[in-house]
Structure 1
Amino acid sequence: MKKHTHRSHSADVHHSLSRQSQPLDIIIAGGGINGAGIAAEAVSRGLTVGLYDAQDFAGATSSASSKLIHGGLRYLEYGELRLVKEALAERETLLTKAAHLIKPMRFRLPYLPHLRPKWQIKAGLFLYDHLAKRCVLKPSQLVSITAQEGLRPDIESAFEYSDCWVDDARLVICNIKQAHHQGAEVRNYCQITHAQRVNDLWKVTLHDERTNQEWIRFCRVLINATGPWAERFIEQYTPEKSPQTMRLVKGSHVIVPKLYNGDHAYILQHTDQRVVFVIPYLNRFSMIGTTDIAFDGDPYSVEADHNEIEYLLSVCNHYFQTKLETPHVIDHFSGVRPLFGDSDAAAQAISRDYELTLQHQGDQAPLMSVFGGKLTTYRKLAAKAVDSLAPFFPDLSPTNSQHSIFTGSINLDVPDLTCKLTKRYPSLTPYTINRLIEQYGQEVWAVMNDFCETESPIIPGFYRCELEYLIQSEWALKLDDVIKRRTKLCYDSEPQSHAEITKWLS
């Protein structure tokens, strides 16, 4: 089997330094889902691209979501029909595009008549089923609740509908790998510290944390996809003023032992008109979220507070017979959503839609900023962003991202791949093989290329070859890059293995 190769970071830096005099078409600040999606879209349409993130790719909001590809059932109550329709259509597109990362999931909404009337729920689900074409996902239905569900005895029925689950951080990495393989220059831990217009170009100053070097890149268009930092990026690093005022909202989740059997999720209505998801997580946990709390701190240091944790547990306890308390919480995480819109509206009522702005005068190099957005609509957002650059790039190719498939999902046949991996690597457990396929799909062969049957794992099921792959091919630099974002092995690892991984990384 051909050995997987990937240019080292130092070689990457040397190569980019040697061609600094060659302006890129676009430079993207921010390696979350929107920046990654725009990079993949732009390079596939013939543009030269540089993508830089001050921390790790998916290091903030894009790895702290509810991990859903969904239309947003509750957005219907706020009249967001266009957004819901677009998101529903994208579910089907992304199911094919990233089949190894995205899985159909059934959601159950327990019926409590004093919260929302039955006719309202039925009407909402009818729209949810029919606003966009649906080929793969099953329609909604009313189901009976049995005692085995673990819900309160008085809950006898639930409305069931389809959405999808996704590993959010790996979806970001897939887009970045696709962009890089097609020629994009990508770098994490590399911050844009200043941007100024020079004639018809942007002169962008970057500081690389890995090498402690400062260097310059020029580009024709600068794209601000920094998410919660979008307003701050414009005001602090460019000569422009922000056209939007952002509202930052904290969303927190908790991880607890598995609450019930089954692969379905629950969407729980609360008396404050919010909904809380309970989602199967990593086969042995339940993930509960999310909250909507105004936030004005540093998004990198956001954490769930005691009140949020108690709120999420109390909503679950209102529905389930198993009563959760704080000691049951295995882990918690928070992300900051960058929203814009009515400054007086409640957080849950603010639109999850997005806006793309272009700032320039005459022949000036334009600054594009991405405000808002959600995981499900990232590809559509990226296509619209690049479409809007057509006046600056008349030779721009048409989009094909709706039909392109990530390498890991091309011709993916999970049972067949499982059988082949089991035969090739008999020492791997079924759990490990399933994890590898869910994370890498067809790329698992490159991951395991140098696997040695006799070596001891660093973490159960995690070997040196996979760690080297993450370093060389997925830009892993720090411990959390490996065990929290590229994998979810933080729940299987011990301090001794952390020390060994850190040694390899250094």
Structure 2
Amino acid sequence: MAPGEIVDLLVVGGGVNGAGIARDAVGRGLSVLLCEQDDLAAHTSSASTKLIHGGLRYLEHYEFSLVRKALQEREVLLRMAPHIIAPLRFVMPHVSSLRPAWMIRAGLFLYDHLSKREVLPGSRGIDFRRHVAGAPLKKTLTKGFVYSDAAVQDARLVVLNAMDAKERGATILTKTRLLEARQGEQYWDARLLSTATGAVFNVSARCIVNAAGPWVANLLNGALNTPAQHQIRLVKGSHIVTKRLFDHNHAYIFQNPDQRIVFAIPYEKDFTLIGTTDVEYTGDPSKVAISEEEIAYLCESVNRYFEVAVSSEQVVWSYAGVRPLLEEEVANPSAVTRDYKLELKAEPNRAPVLSVFGGKITTYRRLAEEAMEHLQPLFGYKKAHWTAHAPLPGGDMPNADFAGFLKQFQAAHAWLPAALAERYARAYGTRAAQLLDGIRDLAGLGELFGADLYEAEARYLVRNEWALSADDILWRRSKLGLRLDADAVNRLSAWLAAQQAASLTPPKTALHA
């Protein structure tokens, strides 16, 4: 953007809500600048259970409106991004002492019918003595239920929203922090700091969107000097990853005596993802980490069901995130609503600010639509809701048919190993053609850092997806960190440093030769 330029929206926060709002707004003709103090999806939005789901357990808390909204969005997102979002069947073993069968059947009936289903099959009862999902379970478990939801590459969902926003005209700045903003009659005058270069620059915005997640209240009370009307409650959710614990493609949802549920999900082909916890959190959201007690809790939770016990020694990776939930007068963190509220302050002769409180990854697109409904009277744009029928980058496949796309992609790139072709198709969809542009064989992919991470993919991520560090590539743009050793990570880091140094070096001219 040019110095002194005035934007309509300054979006603060590069998580799923901020990226979704930026995408929706620029698609309606607004000028948008998004700033994120770290990497896109660096915090809460990359620390989810990797699900697009209605939230079956929220029915017990009578959150029917939230569940309906999430179920509707589940179908929309499956069509928008069929490469990074995939149907997944969930198995719930029945333990009569925890919840009676009639209650589960009633809940699943509501789950099937609260919203129209076009993509996913409904629920049914199963016999573990005949169903493949019964094999790893304790033999005392004979009956259960199966229902549908979907799995998502959560951090990639954020990046794809940011990519689409950029391609429609938005400016996306990572490693850029809002230092302060002064509220004038027509504009916010904001000072931004690029933590990568140390440069400080000014931006004027007609409106600020505060999508700072766990920092939403801190931003209002601090840099924006605008006290919040709502408060958030920080709840830590932690997950562990082990080597693959079962040989089928169903996920499990396990009930526990404390009324919580824990998922065990097939993950990245060779692993199992187990989570999540719900623990009150009062520390710095950027320093959240799983505790030994949480690891023990998750192992104990699945060990009630699996025949072969899982121990902390089997954990190959763990992660934790802080969910910024709406403050409520409930003692149990698990019972705090996952719904959201939007707070618009638009006082006469004062530039407005819209703040996002709460939310969940499944409903981010609807949240962005509602944000634009709040802002419409201020900006007067005419364009109606549009994002539900616009695929995200890489998702423009006929009939959202990933299987058909994968078959064509593998045929067109027969020189690629099948597993690598499938990973490229899953991660990048139709954009994999850009990654492979001009490449005709494995040698053309360049240096192999380890596993199946080649230089061509790293270069694509740097050029197109704001990747700056090894962590950006290995833990957010992909999960290849599960497969690369320390030597490979060091070589990738050295390559990235060389790329950044080269980008700062002016090209040689005749005068410099």
TM range (shorter): over 0.9
Contact kept, 8 Å, 1:450 with 1:465, in 2: the verdict is: no
Give the aligned partner of residue 261 of structure 1.
Answer: 247
Contact kept, 8 Å, 1:28 with 1:222, in 2: the verdict is: yes
Q: Residue by residue, what CA displacement relative to the aligned partner does 1:349-373 show, whole Å, maximum 9, x if unpaired?
A: 1100000001232131111100000
**Number of residue pairs matched by the alignment:** 489
Q: What amino acid maps onto 2:487 in structure 1? A: Q
Q: Which of 452, 456, 462 matches 1:465?
A: 456
What does 1:398-477 align with in structure 2 at a 5 Å threshold? 398-411=384-397, 413-451=401-439, 453-454=442-443, 455-477=446-468
Q: CA deviation at 1:431?
A: 1.3
Q: CA deviation at 1:488?
A: 0.8
TM-score for the superposition, normalised by structure 2 = 0.93
Give the aligned partner of residue 497 of structure 1.
Answer: 488
Q: Residue by residue, what CA displacement relative to the aligned partner does 1:150-179 show, whole Å, maximum 9, x if unpaired?
A: 101110011111100000000001100000
Give the aligned partner of residue 42 of structure 2.
Answer: 59
Please give the secondary structure, in 2, of the residue aligned with 1:402.
Answer: helix
Q: Residue by residue, what CA displacement relative to the aligned partner does 1:278-298 show, whole Å, maximum 9, x if unpaired?
A: 110001111000000000111
Whether 1:101 aligns to 2:89 is no
Contact kept, 8 Å, 1:46 with 1:396, in 2: the verdict is: no
Q: CA deviation at 1:416?
A: 4.8
Find the aligned partners of 1:124 and 1:223 in 2 and give their Cα distance.
Answer: 37
Give the aligned partner of residue 340 of structure 1.
Answer: 326
Give the aligned partner of residue 11 of structure 1.
Answer: none
Give the aligned partner of residue 99 of structure 2.
Answer: 116
Q: Which of 349, 371, 374 matches 2:335?
A: 349
Q: CA deviation at 1:325?
A: 1.1
Q: Give runs of ≥4 in structure 1 deviating > 3 Å.
A: 412-427
Contact kept, 8 Å, 2:163 with 2:393, in 1: the verdict is: no
Q: Which of 219, 237, 243 matches 1:251?
A: 237
Find the aligned partners of 2:264 and 2:195 in 1 and give their Cα distance.
Answer: 38
Q: Please, which runs of 5 or more residues in structure 1 have no aligned partner?
A: 1-15
Please give the secondary structure, in 2, of the residue aligned with 1:389.
Answer: helix
Please give the secondary structure, in 1, of the residue aligned with 2:372.
Answer: helix
Q: Residue by residue, what CA displacement relative to the aligned partner does 1:178-198 show, whole Å, maximum 9, x if unpaired?
A: 000000000111001101113
Q: Residue by residue, what CA displacement relative to the aligned partner does 1:229-282 show, whole Å, maximum 9, x if unpaired?
A: 111111111121111221100000000111112111110000000000111000
Please give the secondary structure, in 1, of the residue aligned with 2:20.
Answer: helix
Whether 1:397 aligns to 2:383 is yes
Identical pairs, percent: 38
Q: CA deviation at 1:456?
A: 4.2
Of 371-380 and 448-457, more deviation after overlay is shown by 448-457
Contact kept, 8 Å, 2:82 with 2:402, in 1: the verdict is: no
Q: What amino acid maps onto 2:436 in structure 1? A: M
Q: Residue by residue, what CA displacement relative to the aligned partner does 1:417-452 show, whole Å, maximum 9, x if unpaired?
A: 444544554443211111111100000010122545
Find the aligned partners of 1:484 and 1:32 in 2 and give their Cα distance.
Answer: 15
Give the aligned partner of residue 280 of structure 1.
Answer: 266
Q: Please, which runs of 5 or more residues in structure 2 have no aligned partner?
A: 498-513
Contact kept, 8 Å, 2:474 with 2:481, in 1: the verdict is: yes
Q: Which of 476, 492, 496 matches 1:485?
A: 476
Please give the secondary structure, in 2, of the residue aligned with 1:381.
Answer: helix
Give the aligned partner of residue 152 of structure 2.
Answer: 166
Q: Residue by residue, what CA displacement relative to the aligned partner does 1:85-132 show, whole Å, maximum 9, x if unpaired?
A: 000000100000011111111111100100001111111111100001
Q: Residue by residue, what CA displacement relative to the aligned partner does 1:356-411 show, whole Å, maximum 9, x if unpaired?
A: 00123213111110000000000000000011101111134211111111231112
Of 409-418 and 62-71, more deviation after overlay is shown by 409-418
TM-score for the superposition, normalised by structure 1 = 0.94
Find the aligned partners of 1:476 and 1:183 in 2 and give their Cα distance.
Answer: 20
Q: CA deviation at 1:505?
A: 1.8
Please give the secondary structure, in 1, of the residue aligned with 2:304.
Answer: helix
Contact kept, 8 Å, 2:303 with 2:309, in 1: the verdict is: yes
Give the aligned partner of residue 224 of structure 1.
Answer: 210
Contact kept, 8 Å, 1:408 with 1:442, in 2: the verdict is: yes
What does 1:145-160 align with in structure 2 at a 5 Å threshold? 145-146=128-129, 149-160=135-146
Of 344-353 and 435-444, more deviation after overlay is shown by 344-353
Q: What amino acid maps onto 1:446 in structure 2? A: Q
Find the aligned partners of 2:248 and 2:484 in 1 and give their Cα distance.
Answer: 26
Q: CA deviation at 1:227?
A: 0.5
Please give the secondary structure, in 2, of the residue aligned with 1:59.
Answer: coil
Q: What amino acid maps onto 2:47 in structure 1? A: A
Q: Which of 102, 123, 126 matches 1:140?
A: 123
Give the aligned partner of residue 304 of structure 1.
Answer: 290
Find the aligned partners of 2:345 and 2:403 in 1 and give their Cα distance.
Answer: 50
Find the aligned partners of 1:183 and 1:505 in 2 and give their Cα distance.
Answer: 27
Q: What amino acid maps onto 1:335 in structure 2? A: G
Find the aligned partners of 1:193 and 1:85 in 2 and give their Cα distance.
Answer: 39
Q: What amino acid maps onto 1:503 in structure 2? A: A
Give the aligned partner of residue 505 of structure 2.
Answer: none
Please give the secondary structure, in 1, of the residue aligned with 2:394.
Answer: helix
Of 421-430 and 381-390, more deviation after overlay is shown by 421-430
Contact kept, 8 Å, 1:429 with 1:461, in 2: the verdict is: no
